[in-house]
Amino acid sequence: MEQSRLLSDGKYITLGTILTGLVLFNLWNQTGALLSAISFFFYLAFFGQNLGQKIIPEEKKFWQKIFGVMMLVGLQIVILSVIYWFYRIDKQIVAAVIVFLPASISFIKVKCASPLADLSNDFDWESYAGTKSYLATKLLAILVIGGQILLMATLWDKRFSDTLVSPWTIIGPRFFIVFVITTLGLLWVLQKSKHTASNLLLIILHTTLMLSVALIIFKIGFGFDPFIHRATEKWILERGSIEPKTPYYLGQYVLVILTHLTTKIPLVTIDKIIVPLGAGLLAPLLTYFSLSRAGSKDKLYPAIALLPLLPLNYFSVTTPNNLALLIAYFIFLLIWREKISPQSNTFWLGLVLCLTAVTIHPFVGLPTAVIYFGSRLFKNGNKIKNIIVAVIYPLILALTLPVSFYLNSLRGASGFTLVNPLSHSTNLLLLFAKPHWVWLDRGNFWWQALYIYRGMIKPLFVAAAILGLIMIIKKYKNNLPKFIILSAIGLFISAFILSTSTKFAEVIMYEQNVYAERVLELMLVLLIPGFVLGLREFFIRIKKHGSKQFMTALFFSFLLLISWYFTYPTRDAVAFHTGWSVRGADITTVHFIDNLNQNKKDYIVIANQLLGAAALQEFGFEKYFKTPTGEHYFYSIPTGGPLYQYFRKMIYQQPKRQWMEEAMAIAGVKKAYFVHTNYWAPAAEIRDQATLEANRWWELENGRVWIYEYIKKES
């Protein structure tokens, strides 16, 4: 009989009150990070169990906890995002949500049982015992774990804070040999073993290893966008809100702040690890759960281990777009689960996850929500309704983002304009063009072949995924793959519209296609389950042939290495990627300039965007100047802003005083600095020319950075 635990279970009330009180105590007091994190973990697990028991009552408690915690965290994100939009976020608000949510969900009627009852089912001791036996008797599994630990330790030993484009430039060839051997052992074990917990453990460790390279090696941080978001999170944490408020990114901001306040883990650390570790842990687990419930468990493990054959670069660093993509993947897996087990009460979980994705990044969340609700119409409708959905649905999905951008522009939020698609049709082809930093003619045959394969990875992935979906339709009489293919078509049309028919005023020319590229990323994420199921069918066909299994493991080990290599920026015989990272020298530079001015930020700095990222990390959004074109940061970011155009002139035309005078006039200041770095060619030529007209200049960090000061001439 189902009852509300809050009204009928004294032990539940007592233990729940203790856990909630402990989290609140840690929130308001300076307790250690370890105690705070453990308390919050048990809080989530305890109350998540109550939700999970309602969502998937037929499953074991382990899976109930996983899905229940996902829904609980999603509810926290959605509620805090709404409160932040209308008010602010601070400790009082977080405390209220910490108390309100458990009290609310405890009214949900479930089959009541003591929270301490049936621990054997809760912890799944049988699988745990199997794991112990498996790891104790299977030497190869032990060696695989040893290889994974060795690889992780090597990455940790290579942590770097100086000039670095690619993490692979400081990694020796023996590292890659160990990876191939470890992967070979992993794929062999996964083809031979049936131990669920052990196999999933090995896959999780390997996937996390592959997604954590940038997280580990780039000591200060990787990329540019994460620095902006971390600076925003710090600002909101200290002040409660940031103006102007925008209806995007809120979900990530409140999640990071909530986790920081309740666990005491540094905000920067939380921000860095959410996506790489979240994807490494949950993507294999949820892929296994969703696809194994239709009798697809046989040979599913090696297929899941090969999920990173598609370079998952968007799961290797935390940004709102990447976090929303990860949530979208969970939603797509839920669609498969709902088709398999329609009796589960997972609709509310799907709704919460869709709202969560929208609060994190509407660009990803809105089309994902259309796909999720479309799947329910497609699934529940009759044949005629399905035909109508098949005709109208892809069109609605394709227009979701263009219409959203248009509506957003009406509120003055962005410079969005429509252009003639016929005159910009070649923009679609640019989405598939070879990167400008790849020069094939400079490499030998093997390097050329490697980069030709790089260009084929995504088309091969799409072809393999669609083939897998077709096999599912024919073999299992499952109609869901038809809906997935329709959704992929709708997303592709959306990418076509965005690349050929739209223009964004605040986006620099060479980044105009970024939105269309992200739609294609969402399409690839949508197709991952089909790709995994297709691989599973292949492994089933060779399961009785030991030699074929070994050769397959060896073949895919090398392919997985190649995909891993291309998951991160490359710098080799043919690739000259220029995506530098923030260095220790950049941190030194922004403080050097600040100290010159006695912490009075009445100046502007014309520099590349990584110096701007360093300034954001150290100073936040402390200083803006009002100009005729709006408020602008005192460092020349973003790249679409007017100050950055003067950096381009100083670098690509000539480092003339005239450009600095014009920049000072725009900002209304009397002092400006031009910062030149040793990695921006032609370094020596720019350095020498800039000294001719600057008032003063300095060299820092043994020639890694040059700073030039310009004082405005009095008219």
pLDDT digits (tens, 9 = 90+) for 171-227: 999 999 999 999 999 999 999 887 778 899 999 999 999 999 999 999 999 988 999
Question: Do 411 and 495 share a domain, yes or no?
Answer: yes
Long-range contacts of 180-183 (CB under 8 A, 24+ apart): 180/557, 180/558, 180/561, 181/147, 181/557, 182/143, 182/144, 182/147, 182/148, 182/151, 182/206, 183/553, 183/556, 183/557, 183/560, 183/561
pLDDT in tens, 322-355: 999 999 999 999 999 888 766 668 899 999 999 9
Domain membership flag for residue 233? no
Closest CA to 277 of 530, 285, 145, 331: 285
Q: What is the DSSP letter of 602?
A: -
Per-residue pLDDT band for 413 (boundaries 50, 70, 90) equals: low
Burial 531-562 (b: 16+ CB within 10 A, else e): bbbbbbbbbeebeeeeeebeebbeebbebbbe
| Mean pLDDT score of the chain | 88
Question: Do 144 and 114 share a domain, yes or no?
Answer: no
| pLDDT of amino acid 514 | 82
Is the per-residue pLDDT at 116 higher than 70? no
Question: Do 39 and 53 share a domain, yes or no?
Answer: yes
Domain membership flag for residue 370? yes
| Mean pLDDT of the region 669-694 | 94
CB within 8 Å of 61: residues ≥ 6 apart: 49, 52, 53, 118, 121, 122, 124
What burial class does residue 627 get, using C-beta atoms within 10 Å of its C-beta: 0-12 exposed, 13-18 middle, 19+ buried? middle
Q: What are phi and psi of 453, to 5 degrees?
A: -65, -40
Cα gap 138→84, rounded to integer Å = 52
Of 369 and 402, more confident? 369
| pLDDT of amino acid 130 | 52
Domain membership flag for residue 662? yes
| pLDDT of amino acid 294 | 65
Question: Do 57 and 141 share a domain, yes or no?
Answer: no
pLDDT in tens, 440-480: 989 899 999 999 999 999 999 999 999 999 998 888 777 88
Question: Do 635 and 650 share a domain, yes or no?
Answer: yes
Cα gap 421→434, rounded to integer Å = 22
Cα gap 246→228, rounded to integer Å = 14
| pLDDT of amino acid 166 | 92
| pLDDT of amino acid 230 | 96
Q: Last residue of some domain: 505, 532, 565? A: 565
Domain membership flag for residue 253? no
| pLDDT of amino acid 189 | 92
Question: Do 397 and 450 share a domain, yes or no?
Answer: yes
Domain membership flag for residue 575? no
Is the per-residue pLDDT at 651 higher than 50? yes
Question: Do 556 and 642 share a domain, yes or no?
Answer: no
What burial class does residue 482 get, using C-beta atoms within 10 Å of its C-beta: 0-12 exposed, 13-18 middle, 19+ buried? middle
| pLDDT of amino acid 123 | 47
Is the per-residue pLDDT at 589 higher than 50? yes
| pLDDT of amino acid 120 | 46
pLDDT in tens, 616-644: 999 999 899 988 878 899 999 988 789 99
Per-residue pLDDT band for 296 (boundaries 50, 70, 90) equals: low
- Report the length, in residues, of the chain: 715
Question: Do 603 and 555 share a domain, yes or no?
Answer: no
| Mean pLDDT of the region 496-511 | 68
| pLDDT of amino acid 131 | 54
**Percentage of residues in the chain having pLDDT higher than 70:** 89
| pLDDT of amino acid 415 | 60
237, 271 Cβ separation under 8 angstroms: no
Domain membership flag for residue 705? yes
Closest CA to 644 of 615, 617, 612: 612
Q: Which residues pair with 630 in a beta bridge?
A: 627
| Mean pLDDT of the region 545-550 | 89
Cα gap 222→214, rounded to integer Å = 6
For the chain, the C-alpha Rg in angstroms (whole number) is: 27
CA dist list (Å): 35 to 25, 96, 551: 11, 21, 48
Q: Which residues pair with 502 in a beta bridge?
A: 418
Cα gap 401→171, rounded to integer Å = 41
| Mean pLDDT of the region 528-544 | 93
| Mean pLDDT of the region 84-95 | 95
Q: What is the DSSP letter of 502?
A: E
593, 605 Cβ separation under 8 angstroms: yes
Is the per-residue pLDDT at 134 higher than 60? no
Closest CA to 415 of 657, 629, 194, 130: 629
| Mean pLDDT of the region 267-278 | 97
Taken in order 170, 172, 173, 177, is the CA torsion positive or negative? negative
Question: Do 142 and 104 share a domain, yes or no?
Answer: no
Is the per-residue pLDDT at 46 higher than 70? yes
Domain that includes residue 596, residue range: 584-711
| pLDDT of amino acid 119 | 46
Q: Last residue of some domain: 76, 97, 120? A: 120
Domain membership flag for residue 576? no
Q: Last residue of some domain: 92, 120, 148? A: 120
Question: Do 659 and 674 share a domain, yes or no?
Answer: yes
Q: Quick one: which H or E segment has residue 151?
A: helix 139-157
Domain membership flag for residue 536? yes
Per-residue pLDDT band for 505 (boundaries 50, 70, 90) equals: low
434: left (phi over 0), alpha (psi -120 to 50) or beta: beta
pLDDT in tens, 51-61: 998 888 888 88
Question: Do 43 and 133 share a domain, yes or no?
Answer: no
| pLDDT of amino acid 273 | 97
Question: Do 291 and 432 share a domain, yes or no?
Answer: yes
What burial class does residue 474 get, using C-beta atoms within 10 Å of its C-beta: 0-12 exposed, 13-18 middle, 19+ buried? exposed
Q: How many domains does the chain have?
A: 3
| pLDDT of amino acid 363 | 93
